[in-house]
Amino acid sequence: MILTIGPVAHGGHFVARTPEGQVVFVRHALPGETVRVEVTEDDGRFLRADAVEVISPSPHRVVAPCPLAHPGGCGGCDFQHVDPTYQRSLKAAVVHEQLERLAGLDWPVSVEEEPPTLRWRTRMQYVELPGGRRGLRKHRSHDVVEVEDCLIAASDARTERGGTVVEHVGPHSFEVAADGFWQVHPAAPQVLVDAVLGMLRPRPGERSLDLYAGVGLFSAFLAEHGPVVAVEGNRGAASYAERNLAGTDARVLHGPVDRVLRRGLEGRFDLVVLDPPRVGAKRKVVEAVTALGPRAVAYVACDPAALARDVGYFAEAGYALGKLRAFDLFPMTHHVECVALLEPR
């Protein structure tokens, strides 16, 4: 069918409607375009589709650098066909819409550029194919597309699993498992540390709580200002955090964040950092954090919907959004990283 494309939606799709009014989430399109689409899924409530022919292109459409960024090709990049400046506008629109819909906030959002737009990904997970070849999966599929050269992969991107690697951020070094969690954009760790510290403005002697602490990135910098308790649910990451934070004023607790908070923590915390997985912190964790009465909370989020939902929970508990910064740390994809400051009203 031929459709006119509407606004961007969370998840890298664009919203259109059939003549009968059914919602269609379209990939490989842009707002305002007229495209011919091929339906890929029908779940009864809405359709998913790919734009297979552009009849009336957007001025923001460009030729995709990657020859595999097309319907039926590699599913790794949603926005290869979009001018990089406009990519950031689309991501800002998604963050704004989620905050408005889920938190009731009309909050102005801009997404900050973090070069490069290609060759930025420092870690890759390929599917091994016969004959030493490798590939990546199609969108929402287990099917594999052979990839000779991924254009968002750095020339020295790691593909190994198991062993330990060392990452450097400012004056600190961090051991991390090669297949463990670490930001994949080379600028991301320092950018996020600067954003968190800039929002919290830690004062000498203040006590900090670092939740979902990973291998101790934020704790290492917070410990320069005062004592830190770092909580991490993954045993391997917690072990690395203990080594990385040895000799600092930081203590590592291993256990699921919600359970550790439910058991209770001794003393008062002035500052809290939340860096949860994509599903967000959720209500119980937010309520436990606000019950501690910190003067400021920095929330690092890779999913705008989870962030907006939790900002709403913070509002219910008396904490308001004070600042928000968004960073384009996943160029050519729909993903965006945000840092939010929550403060008592």
Q: What is the pLDDT of residue 75?
A: 95
d(CA 313, CA 102): 10
Residue range(s) occupied by CATH 3.40.50.150 in the chain? 92-118+160-344
- Whether pLDDT at 179 is above 90: no
| Structural domain 2-61, CATH architecture | Beta Barrel (2.40)
Going by the DSSP 8-state scheme, the letter that residue 31 receives in this structure is: T
Going by the DSSP 8-state scheme, the letter that residue 333 receives in this structure is: S
Q: What confidence tens digit (pLDDT) does each residue in 17-74 have?
A: 999 999 999 999 999 999 999 999 999 999 999 999 999 999 999 999 999 999 999 9
Residue range(s) occupied by CATH 2.40.50.140 in the chain? 2-61
| Structural domain 92-118+160-344, CATH architecture | 3-Layer(aba) Sandwich (3.40)
Say which amino acid occupies 160.
Answer: E
Q: What confidence tens digit (pLDDT) does each residue in 114-151 have?
A: 999 999 999 999 999 999 999 999 999 999 999 999 99
Q: What is the pLDDT of residue 310?
A: 98
Q: What confidence tens digit (pLDDT) does each residue in 277-326 have?
A: 999 999 999 999 999 999 999 999 999 999 999 999 999 999 999 999 99
Cut 0.85: pTM above it: yes
Would you say the C-alpha torsion 187, 189, 190, 196 has a positive or negative sign? Answer: positive
Per DSSP bridges, beta strands 319-328 and 111-113 are parallel
Q: What is the pLDDT of residue 335?
A: 98
d(CA 90, CA 5): 14
- Whether pLDDT at 259 is above 90: yes
With tokens 């290609």, the residue in question is: 118
> Out of 74, 77, 302, 338, which one is annotated catalytic?
302
d(CA 267, CA 75): 47
Residue 66 annotated in active site: no
With tokens 């992969």, the residue in question is: 153
Q: What is the pLDDT of residue 160?
A: 82
With tokens 């999966």, the residue in question is: 137
- Whether pLDDT at 10 is above 90: yes
Q: What is the pLDDT of residue 161?
A: 80
